[in-house]
C-alpha cells in the first residue's frame, strides 16, 4: 500500500513540476529564458546535480550552452562551447535516441577534465528535434550511472517541449529583427524622400523667383515700346508685340502659381476654426465674376484647418468652375456639402463643358490641362495646389464629369 502511495506521490510531483516547466516556458520570451525556466524544476525532478540545454552548430561541429543549472550556480546565454562529439553518437541523436556517455571513456581534453572535476562521471544527452531538424540536446548527469526509464521519459518530454518552444522563440526573434530592419529602412527611405522633396521645392522656389525679374523686364519693355513707339510699327508689328505682352503676363502668372505650389511644402498647416461659407464667398468675390454668372452657395459646415490655405482651395475650385462654364448661358456654379459617414464632403459643381473621365489621371498634375490654352486660360497648376493643400490636411480630392454635362469637384478634410 505504501509503495502505491509513494508512486502516486512521485507521479503527482512529476505532473506538478512538468506543469511548472510548461508555465515557465509559456511566459518566457527568449530561448535562453525558456531553457532556464525549464531546467530549474527539471533538475530537481531528475535528482541530478546539473542539467544543461545545448544548442548544436552542426556545420562547425560544436555545441553551445543555452542554459545550465546546478545546485549552486547557473549559466544563462551563449558563451560556453565544446566539440559535438561530447554528445555521443550524432546519427543516433538524429534518430531521436538518447545517448548515455561515460566521461572516463571520452578522449583526453580540457572538457573531459572539467567534467570529471565537477563530479559528472556519467551523463545522458536527450535529443531536441523539431520536424526532422536536430537543434540540440538536453543533457544531465552526475556521479551515478543510473538513468531509470522514468527519468529518461521525463527528459524526453521536456526536450520535446523545449525544442518546439525554442524553435518558436527563434522564429519570433527573426521576425522581430526583420520587422525592425524593415522599419529602419522605411525610416531611412522616408528621410531620403523628404530630403529630395525639400531640395526639389527649394529648387522650384529658387528658379521661379529668379525667373520673375527677366519676365517683368520683358513685359515692362514691351509695354513701353507699345506705348511710346507704336507709331513706328505697322499693324503686324503691333500684333506681334501684343503676343509678347500676353505671353509674358501668362508666364508671370505661371511663376506666381509655381511659387505658391512650392511654398505649400514648407511648414505644417495651422489648425483653426474655419467658416467655410465665408471663405467660399470671399473667394468668389475676389474672382470678379461677370454679373451673368450665378453662384448658389449653401450654408457649409465649419472645418478645423488653415484658413489661408482653405481660401486658396476655394479660389482655385471656383475659378476653375467659372472658366469651364463661361460659355454656358448662364454660367451656374453650385457649392454645397454633406456628411458621408464620418467625413464632411464639400463639392463645387458647374454646368460647363465637362471632361472625359478617361483623362482623369492628368487632372491634378502640375502643368496638366485637358483643354487647349486658346480655349480656356490657365496655367495648369491650380488643381495641383488644391490637391496638395487638401492632402496636407489629411483629406482627399476627386472629381466626376461627363463631356457636355458639367463637372463636380469634391474634397474632404
Number of domain units in the chain: 3
Query: Minimum mean pLDDT among 142-146, 221-225, 333-337, 366-370: which range?
Result: 366-370
What span, in angstroms and rounded, lies between the C-alpha atoms of 165 and 300? 60
- Do residue 6 and residue 103 come from a single domain? yes
Q: Is residue 182 part of a domain?
A: no
What pLDDT, in 10s, does the model give residues 71-116? 777 777 777 888 998 999 999 999 999 999 999 989 888 888 988 8
Q: Is residue 68 part of a domain?
A: yes
- Do residue 27 and residue 163 come from a single domain? yes
Q: Is residue 183 part of a domain?
A: no
Q: Is residue 302 part of a domain?
A: yes
- Do residue 235 and residue 286 come from a single domain? no
What span, in angstroms and rounded, lies between the C-alpha atoms of 387 and 362? 12
CATH number at residue 26: 3.30.450.40
Identify the burial level of 225 via C-beta atoms within 10 angstroms of its C-beta, where 0-12 means exposed, 13-18 middle and 19 or more buried: middle
Residue that terminates a domain, selected from 145, 177, 209: 177
Q: Which domain holds residue 167?
A: 2-177
- Do residue 36 and residue 125 come from a single domain? yes
Residue that terminates a domain, selected from 229, 246, 263: 263
Within 275-412, strands assigned E span: 294-297, 303-305, 332-340, 343-350, 397-401, 407-412
Cell of 184: 529602419
Would you state the pLDDT for residue 1?
55
What span, in angstroms and rounded, lies between the C-alpha atoms of 50 and 364? 73
Residue that terminates a domain, selected from 244, 263, 282: 263
Cell of 197: 522633396
Q: How confident is the model at residue 372 (pLDDT cuts 50, 70, 90)?
A: very low
- Do residue 230 and residue 289 come from a single domain? no
- Do residue 115 and residue 154 come from a single domain? yes
Q: Is residue 404 part of a domain?
A: yes
**pLDDT at position 28 over 60:** no
Helix H or strand E segment including 185: helix 149-229
- Do residue 57 and residue 118 come from a single domain? yes
The mean per-residue pLDDT over the stretch 355-367 comes to: 77
- Do residue 205 and residue 287 come from a single domain? no
What span, in angstroms and rounded, lies between the C-alpha atoms of 147 and 100? 9
Amino acid at each position: 500500500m505504501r509503495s502505491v502511495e509513494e508512486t502516486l506521490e512521485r507521479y503527482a510531483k512529476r505532473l506538478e513540476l512538468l506543469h511548472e516547466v510548461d508555465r515557465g516556458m509559456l511566459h518566457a520570451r527568449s530561448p535562453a529564458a525558456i531553457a532556464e525556466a525549464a531546467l530549474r524544476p527539471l533538475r530537481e525532478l531528475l535528482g541530478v546535480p546539473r542539467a544543461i540545454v545545448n544548442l548544436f552548430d552542426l556545420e562547425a561541429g560544436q555545441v553551445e550552452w543555452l542554459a545550465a543549472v546546478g545546485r549552486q550556480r547557473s549559466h544563462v546565454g551563449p558563451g560556453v562551447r565544446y566539440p559535438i562529439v561530447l554528445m555521443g553518437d550524432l546519427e543516433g541523436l538524429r534518430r531521436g535516441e538518447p545517448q548515455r556517455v561515460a566521461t572516463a571513456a571520452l578522449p583526453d581534453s580540457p572538457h573531459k577534465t572539467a567534467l570529471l572535476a565537477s563530479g559528472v562521471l556519467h551523463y545522458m544527452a536527450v535529443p531536441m528535434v523539431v520536424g526532422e531538424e536536430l537543434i540540440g540536446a538536453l543533457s544531465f548527469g552526475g556521479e551515478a550511472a543510473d538513468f531509470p526509464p522514468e527519468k529518461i521519459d521525463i527528459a524526453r518530454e521536456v526536450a520535446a517541449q523545449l525544442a518546439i518552444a525554442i524553435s518558436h522563440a527563434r522564429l519570433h526573434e527573426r521576425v522581430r529583427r526583420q520587422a525592425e530592419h524593415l522599419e529602419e529602412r522605411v525610416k531611412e527611405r522616408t528621410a531620403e524622400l523628404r530630403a529630395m522633396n525639400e531640395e526639389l521645392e527649394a529648387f522650384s522656389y529658387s528658379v521661379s523667383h529668379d525667373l520673375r525679374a527677366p519676365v517683368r523686364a520683358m513685359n515692362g519693355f514691351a509695354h513701353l515700346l507699345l506705348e511710346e513707339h507704336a507709331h513706328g510699327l505697322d499693324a503686324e508689328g503691333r500684333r506681334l508685340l501684343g503676343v509678347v505682352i500676353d505671353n509674358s503676363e501668362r508666364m508671370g502668372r505661371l511663376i506666381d502659381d509655381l511659387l505658391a505650389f512650392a511654398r505649400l511644402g514648407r511648414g505644417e498647416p495651422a489648425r483653426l476654426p474655419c467658416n467655410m461659407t465665408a471663405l467660399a464667398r470671399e473667394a468668389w468675390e475676389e474672382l470678379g465674376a461677370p454679373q451673368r454668372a450665378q453662384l448658389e452657395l449653401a450654408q457649409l459646415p465649419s472645418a478645423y484647418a488653415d484658413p489661408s490655405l482653405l481660401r486658396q482651395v476655394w479660389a482655385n475650385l471656383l475659378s476653375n468652375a467659372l472658366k469651364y462654364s463661361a460659355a454656358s448661358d448662364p454660367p451656374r456654379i453650385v457649392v454645397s456639402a454633406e456628411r458621408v459617414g464620418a467625413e464632411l464632403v464639400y463639392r463645387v459643381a458647374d454646368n460647363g463643358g465637362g471632361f472625359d473621365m478617361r483623362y482623369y489621371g492628368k487632372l491634378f498634375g502640375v502643368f496638366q490641362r485637358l483643354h487647349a490654352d486658346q480655349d480656356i486660360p490657365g496655367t495648369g497648376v491650380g488643381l495641383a495646389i488644391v490637391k496638395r493643400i487638401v492632402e496636407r490636411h489629411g483629406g482627399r480630392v476627386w472629381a466626376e464629369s461627363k463631356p457636355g454635362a458639367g463637372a463636380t469637384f469634391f474634397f474632404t478634410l
